[in-house]
Amino acid sequence: MLIKPLTSILTLYLHSLHKYREGDFSLSSGYIYISTINNISITISLYALVLFYIATSERLDAFRPLSKFLCIKTVIFFSYWQGCLFVLLQTLSVLHEKQATKI
């Protein structure tokens, strides 16, 4: 909850300094660092939620929270990695940015 807003502000700052380009995996660009920080943050938060579920599973058993938990976390997890995959495919020139056509 705290990391994503901070990395977003840092992204805006780096972008204003021309030090951030999405999909630029070079060490001189901020993209790889911001992505790594976000990835670590998401991993830790998922781990904490699993620990929370394990600690409260008996009390929450009547509500059957596991399927709801897995559904929501799967959507968040795969949407994050989908964005990373598209950036990687564009970097590898598998996907090309489509130019707007004039009518």
Residue 101 has pLDDT above 70, yes or no: no
Q: pTM above 0.75?
A: no
Maximum distance among all alpha carbons in the chain? 62
Looking at every residue in the chain, the average pLDDT score rounds to 84
The number of beta carbons lying within 10 Å of the beta carbon of residue 66 is: 12
The ranges assigned to domains in the chain are 3-91
Task: Identify the band that residue 49 occupies on the pLDDT scale cut at 50, 70 and 90.
Answer: confident
CA distance 26 to 72: 33
The one-character DSSP state at 62 is G
Going through 1-103 in order, the beta strands assigned E by DSSP cover none
Q: Are 10 and 20 in contact (CB under 8 A)?
A: no
